[in-house]
Each structure stands twice: as C-alpha cells, then as structure tokens.
Structure 1
Amino acid sequence: MSFLTPEQPPQVEDAAAEIASGARLVPRITIQAFCEHSQTAQLVESAMHDRRMSKVALTTHNGGIDGAVETYKSNPTPNLIIVETVLSPQEIPGSLSRLAEVCDASTRVIVLGHVNDVLLYRELIRSGISEYVVLPATSAELVTSITELYAAEGAAPIGRTVGFISAKGGAGSSTISHNVAWAIATSLRQDCLILDMDLPFGTAGLNFNQDPPHGLADAVLANQKVDQTMLDRLMSKAANHINLLTAPATLERTWDFEEREFEGIIEICQRSVPVIVLDIPHAWNAWTRQTLASIDDVVIVAEPDLANLRNAKNMADAIKAMRLTDSAPKLVINKQGVPRRPEIGASEFASSVECSLIGQIGFDAALFGTAANNGQMIAEVSANNKVNEIYRAIGMQVTGRQVSHGGGKSGSLLKLPAMFKKRA
C-alpha cells in the first residue's frame, strides 16, 4: 500500500534518481486507466515517461469504476486496470465487486483512492485487488507498484503459451496460428509474439511480408547466452501488438536440437509478452514432444480425411498422456468443403479424436492464396470475411476468454473404421 498524506507538499520528481540502477522493465502489457480527475489522468500518463514503462501500452479514460464497468461489459479487459475512486471506504468494495463481474480472471487491478485506511487496504487485498495507492502520489510510486506486480524478482510469468501443430503436412497450422495471433492482437489488444519453430521451412516471415536479419535460430544457437535483452533485439515488429521470432528458412545446416533446447527461450518470452504463439512444425521428436508437454495450450489442426484423423487421434492420445494435469489438446478442422472430396463430418471427427472442437474453417483457394502470395493476413485481404470471426473465436478460446462448447456440423460422408470410434 502506498501512503502519501495530504499534508505533504508535492514532490519534484527526479526520475533518474528514483530508479535504481538495473531496475527491471515492465513487460509488454496493456494498461487502461479510468480516472475521476484530470490531475489523476496526468499522473498516470506521466508514468509512461519512466523508462521502466517503455514497453507498456497505456490508454486513459474518464469515469472511475463505473466507467470501467460499462466499458468491459462489451470489451475485453487488458492485463492491468487502474481505477480511481472517490467513494467512501464502505462503498468501495461493493463497487469493485461489480467490476470483478466483467473482468477476466487474469486481469489485475490497482485502485487509486483518496482514503488513507489500513482496514480498507486489507479488505481490498483479500478480495483480489493487486494494490491500493493513496492519492496524492507521485508517478514514480505508481510505476513502482506496477513494477512490483510484473517485474519483481519472483513475479509470476505473464505469458500464455499456445502451440499449433498440424496432424498432417499441409493441414494449415501455420496459417491458422498466424491469423489467430493477428486476431488476438487486434481484438484483445494484447501483445503477441509468434515463434516460428520450423527453422528450415517456416513461413511466418513470408506470411507477414517480413525478412528480418535475425530470428529464432540466433536465440537457439546462442545457447546459454540468451536473455531478455537479446530476445528484444532479435524480435521483428510485424504489426501493432505483433512481434516475430522468424525462422531462417535455410538448408545450409541441419536443425537438430536437444530435448529442452527451446525451453529457456520460451520461459524468457513468458516473462515479457502476454501471449506467445508457437508455430510448431509437423514432426515428432524429442524437442517437439517436450514443447507440446510444457506449454499452456495445444491446438491440433487437421483436414477432414482419414489420414488426418488417424494422426490427430495418435497425437491427441500422446499429448494427453504427457499432460495429465494440464488442459487437453484442442482441435481445429481446416479446409472443409474441398470440391468433390469426400469428408468426415467435423463433429464425428472431433468425437473420434476425443478433442474439443474450437473451430471449423472452410476451403477458399482464392482468398487464402491471395493472402499467402501478398504476405498478408486474411483480415487484411478481406476484413468482412466470416473466417475472421472464427479466428477471433479461436483466439478467445486459447487465451481463456471464453469456454468452448465444441459444436460442429453433424453428419458424415464417410463411414469411420471401428478403431477410430470413440471408446465407451
């Protein structure tokens, strides 16, 4: 709790003097502040001049707690909400409970209040509020409160890791992972980092029309020398809220890795970026197994045919066995409706694989071909296409924003072999 009594005169800040040498930077989070007074908005905005906040995206709004409640009834919540309140200590908890009803579980809240009350502070912390700062305060104090939440020694990683992998070569997991990352960045306004782990053949650079000189291979080959500063240097900005660690896409050497080769890199990314999308190649070896076992969510992308069904079933069973206490893999059916191709119905496919179906994407050679050849996302080529809403829904699912109901079209054009039927 930060106290500054009203009797104290305003302090002239010397940011350089107040920031300890080697202070950690706040990671790439989004912050939205709801202020009752213009002076408070100025305080919050001045915090952005602190070098510890250099990676943060901040917006300020009027309206305090009530304004936040109205905003988040129809909009996704950011990583951190800062709300100013002029309510009495008796009214504050009830007002914040209404805010909690419209916030995602992962969102943190800092309250800026005008009441210096230890009992109120204890009640707010017990209820899940991250910090209570008594006004007037300095911007350095506010930044310190934020830093202690996200950048202090021992702070929990902020990054959610989501891996996409194809059940069969060419099923389209790369295209889907890139477009889902785009949807997360644009709809949720969350910073998203794409790791193109297919080092010899990866397409993240092509799909975003980027050709950076460095990428993921440099981080892997640096071995134990990689740190946050190095990763920041290797990342390339593809769009607002989207960064890439691209693959070199070269065959000048072989790309063989130890089981835990990527583990340290992913952990560093988790400390600085809210969403990490892993574009995992269609392969089955020590490092892909370890990656699939250790990340937060796995999405299997499959076409609706028998070979994809067999592979998806085998992969799902193996991944579940490796992740006994973690979430089961999810399923996306891609390239539905290829002309003259008999297909397995999506609901029957998902039932046989025993995975939650979170998306079905139709075959559209012209649309996807145009996007691929132009180095664009589908939303850039056709903003109103319904597939964009599917990508957004998948993004909501894998970031924990909503619960999957696993729907799907009923019926099947193919009779499945008995070995793929769901066991009773």
Structure 2
Amino acid sequence: MNAPFHPRGTAAREPFAAFVCDEATAEALRPIASEMGWQPEKVTRGGLRNAVQTLAVSASPSILFVDMSESGDPLNDINALAEVCEPGTIVIAAGQVNDVRLYRDLVSSGIQDYLLKPFNADQVREAIAHAQLTLAGPRVGVEVPSERAHAMIAVIGVRGGVGCSTIASSLGWLLGEAEGRSTALLDLDVHFGSAALAFDVEPGRGLTDAIDNPGRIDGLFIERAMVKATPKLSLLSAEAPLNHPLVTDGSAFFQLQEELRGAFEMTVLDLPRHMLIQHPHLLHDAQAVVLVVEMTLAGARDTIRMLSWFKANVPGVAVLLLANRVAGSAAEISRKEFEESIERKIDLCMPYDPKLVAQAAKLGKPVAEVGKAGKTTSPLIDLARRCTVIADGAGGASKEKASAKSLIDLFGELRSKLPARKPKPKAK
C-alpha cells in the first residue's frame, strides 16, 4: 500500500477517499479535502469495513483515509484491506487506541501513518503532506546502480535438514550489510519457510498473493509485498496454511524473478530441491548455485544426482559446494571419500556449532550476524565474496573471474600446461 507513485498506474484513480465512523471526523476532514482541491463528497461514513467492501469493486484512490474506531481486530482488518487495495495507494489510519505496539504493527503492515482521535486539522494536513511526498517520486535506495548488473544466487539443500535456509539467510545478510548490495531474499518454501523467523519479522501475505494472482505482480506489488529485514535486505516469504495446497504453473515465480531483477542488485533464492522437478525454469537466470551438502552416503548419492541435473539443465551456472555442519571425525564418511565419490572438490566447509545456531535463533538474527568474524562464519564470509565476484562477472567480467576457483586450482591448471623440465645432467 505504501508503494511509490507510478503515473501510468494511477491515471484513472481518484486522488483521495475517506471512510470514517462518525460525523465529527467527517466534518473535520471535508474542509481539508476542499483545501486540497478534492471533492468533499469523497469523505463517507462506514469506517474500515465499508472501505474494504467499496474497494473490492472499485479502483483504489491515491490517498486513502480509514477510521478504525469500530474495528475489533485492527491488524486482521488492515490485512483484509490490503487484499483489495491496489499497490501504490497511501493509507492513513485513525483510531482511538493509544498503543505503541499497535502503531508499529500497523506501519509494518503497510500503513503510512496512524492518527490518534481526536486529532486536529494540522495533524491531518501534515499526514497528507507526508503522503504526497511519498507519491512524488520513488523511494531513496530502491533504484539499482546502472553500473551493476543483477545476479541471482540459488541456495539448495541436497537433503532435507542440511541447513539450507540457515545458509541462505546468512548469505542474504552478508551480501546486503557486508558487501553493500541491495539484496532480495526469496524463500519459496511456501508452507514451512523460515526466512522470516531468521530475522524475527512477520512473513506477510505477499508471496501467497503472488502465487494466487500472478497478474498482480509488478514493481508496485514488489514494493508493497517485500518485508524490510535490514536497510539493504528485503525478504519475501510465507507461512501458508497447511490446508492451502500450492497450485501454480510456475508463472508467478518467473514474474517475481523478473520484477526482483529490476528492483535489486542481488537475489538470494532459497529453493526447496523438490521444486526443481516441477519448475526447472527457476534456475535458468541464475548465475550461481550454492549446493548445501552433508557428508553421508545418502548425501553423496544425491549430490551426484544434483550435479548431473545442473550439468544437463543449466550448464552455464557456477556450482559451489558447501558442506554444512562438518563435525570432523564424527562424519559418516570422510571428506576425502565424499570428494572421491562425487568426483569433485568441496568448495567450502562450515563447522558444526550448535551453540551459535541456537543463539542466533533466540536473538532472531542470522548466524553470520551473531557469529561475526568467528571460525564458524568465516566460510560464509568467503561464500558471500565469491558470490559478489560472480555477480560482477555477470555484468561483463570474464568467466575466469566469476568461476570462483581458488588460486591453487589456477596454478595447478597453469603448471599442467607447461612443458616438463628436462633432467639436469649429472656432474662428472
């Protein structure tokens, strides 16, 4: 609802509408509407419930004023309003509940401002002026710098429970806060996703709305649906009811990727492995895949299968193998045996640190933020840097720069191309 102004999307909209609960509030708003050049008849009775019913069958105004005084459950009612309110509408709410927590929850839900009744005319004018400033242009920090191309990094677990979402949330945080890239974290586990839990935020309804109504997905929808986790990181996830099956042909996911490409520099895609079977196109635009593995017999078998799938379906993508929860000699099979079975090296190993993971969960922060520069998180920092190199390579750098190979690998290839040295003659 707080999406920035887009002239083509609002040409047929009314500039203002208000739904109030009492005549005193209506009498306070009508003179201000006349001052702004708006029709005072747009101030009507009925409150939030009437607003939901009216906007379900008519276009949303640019600025919407709703009175919540008669609402028994303000948050649920605002969510109902969000379902019928078109992206790009600025919502100003008013009510009689003086609660800081309610105010924060309303703002998180997309409300621009909340006025405590009774309010005076100057407060209304100030709120409307703030709304008009938001409509006047795009928000600061949304535009992607033109010199940087967008890059998508997919994080996939080779087995269930290997910590794929833990890696994805930490990678998104590092790309945003450590590497300074505007980043979107897209968690496609619609029913059991944990991206919102990792940052202690509400997942919102954006992802489920997108799947149910792919035609609504555009830049304004993305701006409204994304949940701000940090100044540089926004996430889109869901906790859909278990009686709400996922029914989609994949067009919603494709459209989401298209819009995220235009709004962010990086997209981290937390992708459940079973979705590769139903929607293989999800990786067609990815620059890299982080395959999170476990050093077990089943993990080795599925890693071989996944690597074969990548080679056949997305041969140009850079695949980085990250072994998570490495417990030294306690592993089911050794690193050497694992690498021999899959016929390639593991790129990164993350030690098993249950205390750090538990602390991060309690604080509602990603592991990379809680662990800082410790031994456990250093592989994550290395991973973020490699992904940044790959992202820069997507903007026109050479493939060698984006291959994420180590210097040892490069020197090994160079030495193999050099002619063998002739043996020195023995001294007489």
TM-score range, shorter chain: 0.5 to 0.7
What TM-score, normalized by structure 2, do the two folds share? 0.57
Corresponding residue for residue 189 of structure 1: 180
CA distance in 2, matches of 1:292, 1:221: 22
Whether contact under 8 Å (2:152, 2:267) holds in the other structure is yes
Q: Name the counterpart of 2:201.
A: 210
Instruction: Determine the C-alpha separation between the residues in 1 that align with 2:142 and 2:281.
Output: 33
Question: Aligned equivalents of 1:404 and 1:285: distance in 2?
Answer: 24
Matched, 1:371 2:360: yes
Identify the match of residue 361 of structure 1 among 329, 338, 350: 350
Unaligned runs of 5+ in 1: 1-18, 24-48, 59-77, 81-106, 109-157, 409-424
Instruction: Say if 1:358 and 1:51 are closer, same or farther in 2 by CA, change over 3 A.
Output: farther
Partner of 2:242: 251
Query: How many correspondences in the alignment?
Result: 271
How has the CA–CA distance of structure 1 residues 21 and 240 changed in structure 2, closer, same or farther, with 3 Å as cutoff?
A: closer
**SS state at 1:298 partner:** strand
**How many angstroms does 1:319 deviate by?**
1.4
Q: Letter of the aligned partner of 2:141 in structure 1?
A: V
How far has the Cα of 1:298 moved from its partner? 1.4
Q: Check the 8 A contact 1:260/1:290 in 2, yes or no.
A: no
- Higher-Rg structure is 2
Alpha-carbon distance in 2 for matches of 1:354, 1:55: 48
Q: Contact 2:352/2:376 (CA < 8 Å) preserved in 1?
A: no
- Structure 1 counterpart of 2:190, one-letter code: L
- Normalised by the length of structure 1, the TM-score is 0.57
Aligned pairs (5 A) from 1:7-26: 21-22=7-8
Other-structure match for 2:369: 380
- Counterpart of 2:299 in structure 1 is 308
Matched, 1:239 2:324: no
Identity of aligned residues (%): 25
Q: 2:325 aligns with which of 323, 328, 335?
A: 335
Please give the per-residue CA displacement for 1:368-400, whole angstroms capped at 9, x wherever unaligned: 122123321124323231333321211122232
Cα pair 2:350 2:377 within 8 Å, conserved: no
Please report how far the alpha carbon of residue 55 of structure 1 lies from its aligned counterpart in structure 2 after TM superposition. Answer: 3.5
Amino acid at match of 2:266: V
Structure 2's unaligned 5+ residue stretches are 10-133, 393-400, 409-428
Amino acid in the other structure paired with 1:332? L
Higher normalized helix content (fraction of residues): 2
> Structure 2 vs 1, CA of residues 303 and 246 (structure 1 numbering), >3 Å: closer, same or farther?
same
Q: 8 Å contact 1:330–1:356 — kept in the other structure?
A: no
Structure 1 counterpart SS, 2:268: strand
Residue in 1 that maps onto 2:141 = 56
SS at match of 2:160: coil
Q: Structure 1 residue 390 and structure 2 residue 349: aligned? A: no
SS of 1:205's partner is helix
The answer to whether the 8 A contact 1:358-1:407 is kept is no
Distance 1:161 1:232 in 2: 19
Aligned to 2:84: none
Residue 338 of structure 2, aligned match among 349, 352, 355: 349
Q: Which moved more, 1:173-182 or 1:253-262?
A: 253-262
Query: For residues 208-248 of structure 1, what are the alpha-carbon distances to aligned partners after superposition, in whole Å with 9 as ceiling and x for unaligned?
Result: 10114323222121122211101110001011201010122
Shift of 1:268: 1.0
- How big is each residue's C-alpha offset from its partner over 1:32-77, in whole Å with a ceiling of 9 and x where there is no partner? xxxxxxxxxxxxxxxxx9965624279xxxxxxxxxxxxxxxxxxx
Inter-partner Cα distance in structure 1 for 2:257 and 2:181: 18
Distance in 2 separating the partners of 1:297 and 1:198: 20
Name the CA distance, whole Å, in 1 between partners of 2:262 and 2:270. Answer: 19
Judged with a 3 Å threshold, the aligned counterparts in structure 2 of structure 1 residues 256 and 367 are, in CA distance, closer, same or farther, namely: same
| Alignment correspondent of 1:289 | 280
Is the partner of 1:271 in helix, strand or coil? helix
